[in-house]
Structures are given as structure tokens and as C-alpha cells.
């Protein structure tokens, strides 16, 4: 089915998407964790948004990957909001929002970095830690699963790879600290309960790069990140094992690798650097 055209007028179909996914090895795993930005090109007239999103999901389903996992982050507590498992909209894009609202899915009760998993994984994810990047968090659970890959479906790895911060927490980097937030979580059955949630956030005085494009480029050059152009965007895929190893090795070899400039220890303060006064908080 014709879905969109790129800036040169070339038309792309669902089969083109499937071919691109297979070419980066997205079908060669048991679990696929998807970051998405699905504005690949100009939509073909007549296709409604939900129909388009449904076709994209069906195309990924055809890969026969057992578990489709998507981040459904909200950063609810830092934004002064209750977190509603059913009704809190994710800031991770229309495709992830579409998936999280599907039947037979379970969304974790993490009010900052929730994920949506198939119901078959509910027992594994229904007691995530009160630290969004620590042991027992969703990303930690994923790290201990077998044969996981990260798929960047139109999104760029350098823009959205929150997994870097999970590894930074595991290695206890000195330029981040634990910050706690309190609020209410409304569960899937409507019950409300108070919760304190902690995240490993950057210290005041640490300067982050605008994106990790240099890491993305290196992973592609080394052959760990498989990447192919699709219309006006890219599809890319890397295994969780490769990602964890390469991130941790870089931190061990150069503590400043994921910073824009070397930190000065005396200038670091355990002070939260984000504020709702500057717009909705969507990062950690």
C-alpha cells in the first residue's frame, strides 16, 4: 500500500518499510524496543492518521518479533502532575501513543519513564523500581532480558537514547545525581496512591551536548548500528548488548565522553537543572 512520498517525489509502500526493517536486522531479536518519529514523508492523500499508524504497527508485527516494547515517558511528577497509567499521554510521539493505547498491552506505573509492553510481559514489569534509571527499573529489566534490540524508527539515536542515562546510573558517573519527586499514581483500575520516584539527572555545572550524534556515527562506523534511509528519515537498529558494552566502555575510558565539555568537580552541584517555567519537562 502506498503510504508517503519523500522530498523528491518517490513513493514508499508498507513493503518498502518492511524491507528496510529487515535490512537493519530488526527481525533478528526476541524483543524490540522502539524509539519513533514516523514523519518519513508527505502522506499519500486519503490515509487517516490512525490508519497510517495501524499499518506501521502491522508491518512491524510481520517481523514476527515476540515482544514489541515502547517508551511511554511522561515526566509527570517533575511537571507537577499526577500520573494516570491509562490517560496520561506520552511525549514520545504519535506512534508510541498509538501502541500504548492498544488492547493486550501493559503500561508500567513509573510516573517518569514508563514503558508499554505486551501483556505477556506484565508479571516481569508490574513492580518496577521507584528509581526510573536504577536497579529494577524498566530499562534495567530490559538489560537483563535476552536478545533485545533498540530500533530507531524514524527517530535518531543521537537525539533520544535515554538508555545512555541508565548506563550512567549503573556506573555512578559523578556529573549526575539522584533527584526525587513526589506525586500520585492512578493505576489501571482507577486507584490513586502516593509515590516517590527518583531519577538520575544532570548536576548543575555539567554541560551536556545537544545530541549524541558522534556516538551514533561511531556505532554505525563500527558496524554495531545498522542504518538505512527511508524516504526523508532513517531506520536504525543496534543490539542492547552492543549498546551497553560500548556506552560503558566509553565512560570507563573517558568520563567526559557524554558531556559537551569536561566537568569541573568543584563546580558540580546537586541542583535540578530543568524547570516547568521554561516549558514542559521532557528530558532527564
**Mind listing the pLDDT tens digit of every residue in the chain (284 residues)?**
999 999 999 999 999 999 999 999 999 999 999 999 999 999 998 889 999 999 999 999 999 999 999 999 999 999 999 999 999 999 899 999 999 999 999 999 999 999 999 999 999 999 999 999 999 999 999 999 999 999 999 999 999 999 999 999 999 999 999 999 999 999 999 999 999 999 999 999 999 999 999 999 999 999 999 999 999 999 999 999 999 999 999 999 999 999 999 999 999 999 988 765 566 777 77
Residue 44 lies in a domain: yes
Buried b (16+ CB within 10 A) or exposed e, 113-122: bbbbbbeebe
What does the pLDDT read at residue 282? 74
Question: For residue 5, what pLDDT is reported?
Answer: 94
Q: Is residue 43 part of a domain?
A: yes
Residue 261 belongs to a domain: yes
Judge whether 55 lies within some domain.
yes
Residue with the three cell numbers 509527570:
76
- Measured between its terminal Cα atoms, the distance across the chain in Å is 39
* Residue 284 forms part of a structural domain: no
DSSP label at residue 119: G
pLDDT at residue 276, rounded to an integer: 57
| Contact criterion met (CB below 8 Å) for 29 and 239 | yes
Contacts of 152 (CB under 8 A, 6+ apart): 35, 36, 160, 234, 235, 236, 237
pLDDT at 46: 83
Cell of 216: 551514533
- Structural domain boundaries, residue 15: 2-278
Q: Is residue 283 part of a domain?
A: no
Q: What local confidence, expressed as pLDDT, does residue 231 receive?
A: 97
**How many domains is the chain built from?**
1
Amino acid at each position: 500500500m502506498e503510504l508517503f512520498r519523500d522530498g523528491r517525489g518517490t513513493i514508499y509502500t508498507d513493503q518498502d518499510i518492511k524491507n528496510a526493517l529487515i535490512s537493519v536486522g530488526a527481525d533478528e531479536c526476541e524483543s524490540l524496543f522502539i524509539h519513533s518519529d514516523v514523519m518519513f514523508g508527505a502522506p499519500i492523500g486519503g490515509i487517516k492518521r490512525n490508519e497510517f499508524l495501524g499499518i506501521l504497527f502491522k508491518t512491524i508485527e510481520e517481523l514476527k518479533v515476540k515482544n514489541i516494547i515502547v517508551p511511554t515517558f511522561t515526566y509527570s511528577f517533575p511537571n507537577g502532575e499526577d500520573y494516570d497509567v491509562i490517560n496520561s499521554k506520552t511525549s514520545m510521539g504519535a506512534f508510541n501513543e498509538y501502541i500504548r493505547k492498544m488492547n493486550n498491552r501493559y503500561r508500567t506505573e513509573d510516573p517518569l519513564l514508563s514503558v508499554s509492553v505486551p501483556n505477556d510481559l506484565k508479571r516481569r514489569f508490574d513492580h518496577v523500581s521507584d528509581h526510573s534509571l536504577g536497579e529494577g527499573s524498566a530499562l534495567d529489566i530490559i538489560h537483563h532480558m535476552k536478545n533485545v534490540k533498540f530500533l530507531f524508527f524514524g527517530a535518531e539515536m543521537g537525539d533520544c537514547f535515554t538508555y545512555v542515562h541508565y548506563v550512567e546510573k549503573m556506573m555512578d558517573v559523578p556529573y549526575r545525581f539522584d533527584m526525587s519527586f513526589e506525586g500520585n499514581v492512578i493505576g489501571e483500575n482507577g486507584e490513586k496512591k502516593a509515590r516517590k520516584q527518583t531519577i538520575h539527572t544532570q548536576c548543575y555545572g555539567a554541560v551536556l551536548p545537544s545530541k549524541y550524534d558522534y556516538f551514533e556515527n561511531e556505532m554505525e562506523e563500527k558496524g554495531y548500528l545498522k542504518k538505512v534511509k527511508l524516504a526523508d528519515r532513517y531506520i536504525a537498529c543496534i543490539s542492547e548488548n552492543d549498546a551497553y558494552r560500548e556506552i560503558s566502555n566509553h565512560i570507563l575510558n573517558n568520563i567526559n565522553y557524554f558531556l559537551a565539555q569536561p566537568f569541573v568537580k568543584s563546580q558540580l552541584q546537586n541542583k535540578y537543572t530543568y524547570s516547568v517555567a521554561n516549558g514542559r519537562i521532557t528530558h532527564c
